[in-house]
Amino acid sequence: MGRWRIAAEDWDAPDGAALRAAQRAELDARYGSDDHEPGAAPTAADVAVFLVARDEEHGLAVACGGLRPLAPGTAELKRMYVRPALRGSGVATAVLRELERAAGRLGVTRLVLETGTAQPEAVRFYEREGYVRIENYGPYAGEPLSVCYARDLVAARS
Chain segment 21-31, per-residue pLDDT in tens: 999 999 999 98
Sheet of strand 74-82: strand arrangement: 4-8, 49-55, 61-71, 74-82, 110-116, 146-152, 132-134
**Domains of the chain: which residue ranges?**
4-157
Chain segment 13-51, per-residue pLDDT in tens: 999 999 999 999 999 999 888 777 788 889 999 999 999
CA distances from 124 to 2, 4, 104, 136, 137 (A): 22, 22, 24, 17, 20
In terms of CATH architecture, what is 4-157? 3-Layer(aba) Sandwich (3.40)
Bridge partners for 132 per DSSP: 150
**What does the pLDDT read at residue 1?**
41
Comparing CA positions, the residue from 143, 65, 142 lying closest to residue 111 is 65
Task: Indicate whether 53 pLDDT > 80.
Answer: yes
**What does the pLDDT read at residue 33?**
81
Q: Share the mean pLDDT of the chain.
A: 93
Average pLDDT of the segment spanning 67-79: 97
